[in-house]
């Protein structure tokens, strides 16, 4: 969108909101308040807002527990024995997957460990894991511990790709070059879908295609991608992925994660995995006999029975997603983020105050902008917080802003800009 399309005015923001086909969904969420006034909430990349229906969804399961006890597993509107299945339709749409390729389960870190059991199969000569430098700490720790578990030194086994000098984000061609140069050493590609710090959206299709030319499996941490950008994991031939549900999926703090396993693997009983009762053939589960026989698809990676209350909270949000489409949300997201970018530069471009390190191209980012401050960043962040802006500070000098299309408006962007302008002027005094 050309910069001259936007205007720094309340009238423009309100006009955009009037024409917004998904703006109505903001009413489905609780907006936090400070001192009786709604905040400007730009922190959905850390914790999404609560859908107003969550309490009713959870209460339904609590009522079933209260009135049915253990029989709630088998009877009622949502028998707990099959609780995970209700979320499959919406998750498959958001991920670009078949329903058999996805399942909600566990936590992101637990799931990543389980998936690496299946897909990180190093040998003495082919043992390196290709990943981005500065990945989210939990991913770094998981890869380090997996390398050590297999008897390798993480400093040798983990091949981190860094941006070029004086750049903040990775170039896709640099990832592909490393794959070609180190193909005989790389056992796995494991990247973020969207990099948490810079907000860069990786070209998952190109990376997957390149890795598979050398028979290297590819997996993605989609914590910042699911519910944020359109995904086509099945068609991109991604081998596996996992995510959390408490950011853009709005399922509540620490809530249930999920996995994607491509059908070419999910229907193979020979692939190594850690087994659990709930991943065993559903038709034989209660025979209670020895000999693990996995269910087909991603369900074969299940370990324990479903987190019913957590899944209820997740479903409340997924049912909102089902009333629109990720493509419709993406259209608004691109406009919201571009408008925020425009206003930030309108306010700060003469101060040499900051640099936006998130890619400027809409197809290379989600709904996050990361602002790298050259001076007074924390002072400005604290001023914004005092004025009711909920954002995220990452030491030493980056502020992350995430305008989420489901519950943020163009007027939110304008109101932020007015507060930001005041904070910048205050810091220049």
**3-state DSSP of 365-402:** ECCCEEEEECCCHHHHHHHHHHCCEECEEECCCEEEEE
pLDDT of the residue at 429: 54
Q: Spell out the long-range contacts of 31-38 with Cβ–Cβ below 8 A and sequence spacing 24 or more.
A: 31/407, 32/390, 34/388, 35/388, 37/388, 38/388
For the segment 38-58, the average pLDDT, to the nearest whole number, is: 98
Closest CA to 234 of 98, 91, 85, 87: 98
The CATH code for residues 3-30+326-428 is: 3.90.1150.10
Higher pLDDT, 296 or 268: 296
Q: Which CATH number fits domain 57-321: 3.40.640.10, 1.10.1040.10, 3.40.50.300, 1.20.1270.360?
A: 3.40.640.10
pLDDT tens figures, 377-404:
999 999 999 999 999 999 999 999 999 9
The dihedrals phi and psi of 144, each to the nearest 5 degrees, come to -60, -50
pLDDT grade for 352, boundaries at 50, 70 and 90? confident
DSSP track, 270-329: TS-----GGGB-TTTGGG--SS--BPSGGGGG--S---HHHHHHHHHHHHHHTTS-HHHH
pLDDT of the residue at 1: 64
pLDDT grade for 409, boundaries at 50, 70 and 90? very high
The DSSP H or E segment spanning 218 is strand 218-221
pLDDT tens figures, 107-138:
999 999 999 999 999 999 999 999 999 999 99
Q: Do domains 3-30+326-428 and 57-321 have the same CATH topology?
A: no
Domain residue spans of the chain: 3-30+326-428, 57-321
pLDDT of the residue at 427: 65
pLDDT tens figures, 66-81:
999 999 999 988 999 9
pLDDT of the residue at 84: 97
Burial class (CB in 10 A: 0-12, 13-18, 19+), 269: exposed
Sheet architecture: strand order including 392-394: 354-356, 369-373, 398-401, 392-394
The DSSP H or E segment spanning 265 is helix 263-266
| Lowest-confidence pick of 3-7, 31-35, 98-102, 174-178 | 3-7
pLDDT tens figures, 257-289:
999 999 999 988 789 999 999 999 999 999 999
Answer for the pair 155, 124: CB distance below 8 angstroms, yes or no. no
Task: Calculate what percentage of the chain has a pLDDT beyond 90.
Answer: 94
């Amino acid at each position: 969108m050309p910069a001259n399309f936007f205007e720094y005015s309340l009238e423009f923001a309100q006009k955009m909101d009037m024409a917004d086909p998904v703006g109505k969904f903001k009413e489905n969420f609780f907006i936090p308040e400070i001192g009786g006034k709604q905040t400007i909430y730009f922190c959905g990349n850390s914790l999404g807002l609560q859908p107003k229906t969550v309490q009713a969804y959870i209460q339904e399961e609590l009522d079933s527990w209260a009135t049915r006890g253990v029989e709630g597993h088998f009877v009622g509107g949502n028998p707990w024995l099959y609780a995970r299945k209700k979320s499959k339709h919406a998750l498959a749409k958001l991920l670009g997957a078949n329903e058999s390729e996805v399942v909600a389960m566990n936590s992101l870190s637990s799931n990543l460990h389980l998936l690496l059991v299946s897909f990180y199969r190093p040998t003495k000569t082919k043992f390196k894991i290709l990943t981005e430098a500065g990945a989210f700490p939990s991913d770094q720790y998981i890869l380090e511990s997996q390398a050590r578990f297999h008897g390798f030194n993480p400093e040798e086994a983990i091949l981190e790709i860094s941006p070029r000098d004086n750049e903040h984000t990775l170039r896709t061609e640099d990832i592909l070059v490393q794959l070609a140069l180190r193909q005989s050493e790389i056992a796995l590609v494991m990247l973020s879908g969207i990099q948490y710090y810079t907000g860069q959206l990786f070209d998952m299709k190109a990376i997957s295609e390149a890795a598979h030319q050398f028979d290297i499996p590819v997996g993605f941490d989609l914590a910042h991608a699911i519910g944020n950008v359109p995904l086509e994991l099945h068609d991109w031939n991604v081998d596996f992925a996992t995510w959390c549900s408490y950011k853009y999926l709005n399922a509540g703090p620490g809530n249930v994660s999920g996995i994607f396993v491509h059908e070419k693997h999910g229907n193979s009983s020979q692939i190594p995995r850690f087994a659990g009762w709930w991943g065993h053939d559903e038709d034989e589960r209660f025979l209670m006999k020895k000999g693990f026989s996995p269910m087909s698809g991603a369900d074969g990676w299940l370990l324990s029975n479903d987190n019913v209350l957590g899944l209820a909270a997740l479903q409340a949000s997924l049912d909102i997603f089902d009333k629109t489409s990720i493509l419709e949300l993406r259209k608004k997201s691109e406009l919201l983020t571009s408008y925020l970018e425009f206003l930030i530069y309108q306010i700060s471009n003469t101060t040499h105050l900051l640099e936006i390190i998130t890619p400027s191209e809409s197809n290379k980012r989600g709904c996050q902008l990361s602002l790298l401050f050259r001076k007074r960043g924390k002072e400005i962040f604290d001023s914004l917080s005092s004025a009711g802006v909920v954002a995220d500070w990452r030491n030493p000098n980056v502020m992350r802003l995430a305008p989420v299309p489901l519950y943020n408006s163009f007027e939110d962007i304008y109101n932020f800009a007015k507060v930001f302008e005041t904070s910048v002027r205050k810091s220049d005094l």
